[in-house]
Amino acid sequence: MNRRKFFKLSLQAGLVTAASQNVSGLFAKSSKKDIPLATNALRIPPVISGGDLVIAPTTFEINSGIQTNVISINNSFPAPTIRLKKGDTFSAQIKNNLTEPTVIHWHGIHAPSTMDGHPRNAIAPGDTFNLSYPIIQRAGTYFYHSHADMNTAKQSYLGMTGMFIVEDDEEKALGLPSGEFEIPLLIQDKRFDKNGQLIYAPTTADMSAGWLGDTVLINGTPPNAFLNVANTMYRFRIVNGSNARTYNIALSDGKQFTIIGNDGGLLESPAAVTSAMLAPAERLDIVVDFSGYSIGDNLFLKSLSFFYSDGPGSGTLRQGAEIDLLQFTIDRTAAKGNPIPAALSAITKFNSSDAVNNRSFQLSGHQYINSQSFDINRIDNHVPFGALEQWTITNLSESVHPMHVHGVQFQIVNPTQPSEGGWKDVVRIESFATVQVLLRFTEYTGIYLIHCHILEHEDMGMMSNFQVEQSGAVKHETNGQNEIVIFPNPASDHAFLKFPSLEKEEMLMLIDITGRVISKDILGAGITDHKLLTDKISNGSYRIILGNYEAELIVMRQ
């Protein structure tokens, strides 16, 4: 199906269901003056570390007494939270029990290209896909969701979205609020029909504005969600898992809260703010200190109203509307938590002047990058592995586009707010604005994506493939002067490499079958041999890349 056809189909689907009524009237609207109205205790999704992930059309009791049709993962809505530690191996068997193809993308996680959830790796109905890769990145709040070709929005919206939390020792040592004081908050706006079923039927206007719900669920909790808290510090890991809605996160009494992290983990230092924008797929890791409140006090986590240029689509709750998200009731005392350390993490800053390549991405309409919409088989950019690049993203449209890059965390060149510091994988690009990001692919080679994270825009084709690869044309010499001679090969603990004298400094890389770089050595000009230690790497076949030369190395230990 081409994109134009897809667009027509969604348009028809929209016409068919345009008469459906939403049931926002079923749910009492909370109001600031009438605290407390909240009636639904905040749900916390189950936590897993991998294993079977069964994607299936099931029902789930989102609203009390009503079975809602969803796409669940392991019968959970939203999907379970995956929680792992840096150094762990993430292994999963993904079973597709849907009647259509699907695939899961691990957003923000460094995964091999073939396991990253690219739509070309779709899992057919009834099939199982086994994956396994090491968690090699820093601690942070990541997430996962459907990435099916032209079907990401619907599948993610119907339930295929969950959190993916990575811990590490460095973060642990900071003594941030944990256990019952660390709460995941996955925010998603939905529309329900009068039978309590989820509506997903975007019209042409919705494809442009993005599908906006009128009912905001936190972790799938029905509206008027509350959390009873102690008068101490809490860490909230907030993921905006909405198709298109941006939130302007704040406390209802206007008090400060502290941003400690965002998309790619902890900031360098905490930032006290009274509000922070959170576009689709962005994350905010915040600490709220309830120690100044008395038992019985109530306040809300809310989204403040903000100006938004795009049209409203068919939704009744406009983009930028004020929304109460979660009511906090202070119901008990607790020891005052540790102060937040003034230094949270070390982040080496990239400099534009060090970038070896510049690339530009021009966004237009709701579906074009550099005037083209997505073609699953077309590679639009070849990005050299290991090289610092500056990407300039220019928004030539009237819509805001939160742009996301797979396989990497980047740095925004001129962040305009504290939440844009540190490592990011989504950047909000205002209408007619230009943003520059600096990035370097240092983990895997292979095909990855850049796209708008308004899921309707992604499905319409505001997405582009790029391929991370070794720079220069790799020579495959099997004999003659230019080859790398390896002995012994197979190697056990080490191998000696002999090659023609290097004309300039070159990087020697050992790459495994998934494309992951296992080791890197810089070899100076004039060098003609090298001893490569292989005692710490597992048995298997590896590629050796040295400048323009490539060779195969087998590691075989008893």
Binding mask 129-148 for ligand C2O (x = CB under 6 A): ----------------x-x-
Q: C-beta of 80: minimal distance to ligand C2O in Å?
A: 17
Going from the C-alpha of 93 to that of each of 49, 230, 237, the distances in angstroms are 12, 39, 26
Element (H, E) at 12: helix 3-17
Residue of the chain from 95, 107, 302, 401 that contacts ligand C2O (CB under 6 A):
107
Q: How far is 252 from 190, CA to CA, in rounded Å?
A: 22
Q: Does residue 404 touch ligand C2O according to CB under 6 A?
A: yes
The least distance separating Cu ion from the CB of residue 459, rounded to whole angstroms, comes to: 11
406 touches ligand C2O by CB under 6 A: yes
Q: Give the angle 10-381-352 at the CA atoms, nearest 5°.
A: 115
Quote the tokens at residue 528.
């003609």
The long-range contacts involving 252-259, CB below 8 angstroms and separated by at least 24 positions, are 252/32, 252/299, 252/300, 252/301, 252/302, 252/324, 253/299, 255/292, 255/299, 257/286, 257/287, 257/288, 257/289, 258/286, 258/287, 258/288, 258/289, 258/340, 259/284, 259/285, 259/286, 259/418, 259/419
Query: Which of 115, 330, 439, 449 lies at the binding interface for ligand C2O (CB under 6 A)?
Result: 449
Q: Is the dihedral of CA 189, 194, 200, 201 positive or negative?
A: negative
Taking contact as CB under 6 A, which single stretch among the options 20-28, 237-245, 445-453, 538-546 is the one that binds ligand C2O?
445-453
Nearest residue by C-beta to ligand C2O?
107
Residue 110 or 406: which CB sits closer to Cu ion?
406
Tell me how far, at minimum, the Cβ of 145 lies from Cu ion, in Å: 9
432, 407 contact by CB (below 8 A): no
Return the amino acid letter for 51: G
Q: Which of ligand C2O, Cu ion, none does residue 147 bind (CB under 5 to 8 Å by kind)?
A: ligand C2O
Query: What is the DSSP-derived secondary structure letter of residue 308?
Result: -
* Site residues for Cu ion per CB under 5 A: 107, 401, 406, 452, 454, 457
User: Smaller CB distance to Cu ion: residue 233 or 454?
Assistant: 454
What is the C-alpha to C-alpha distance for residues 177 and 284, in angstroms, rounded to an integer? 15
Q: Which does 451 bind (CB under 5 to 8 A by kind): Cu ion, ligand C2O, none?
A: ligand C2O
245 contributes a contact to ligand C2O by CB under 6 A:
no
Residue 194 burial by CB count (10 A; 0-12/13-18/19+): exposed, middle or buried?
Answer: exposed
Nearer to Cu ion, 406 or 440 (CB): 406
Binding mask 450-489 for ligand C2O (x = CB under 6 A): -x-x------------------------------------
C-alpha 397/C-alpha 455 separation (Å) is 17
Among 103, 185, 271, 281, indicate the residue that binds ligand C2O (CB under 6 A).
Answer: 281
Q: Which is nearer to ligand C2O, 235 or 453 (CB)?
A: 453
Q: Site residues (CB under 6 A) for ligand C2O? A: 105, 107, 145, 147, 281, 404, 406, 449, 451, 453
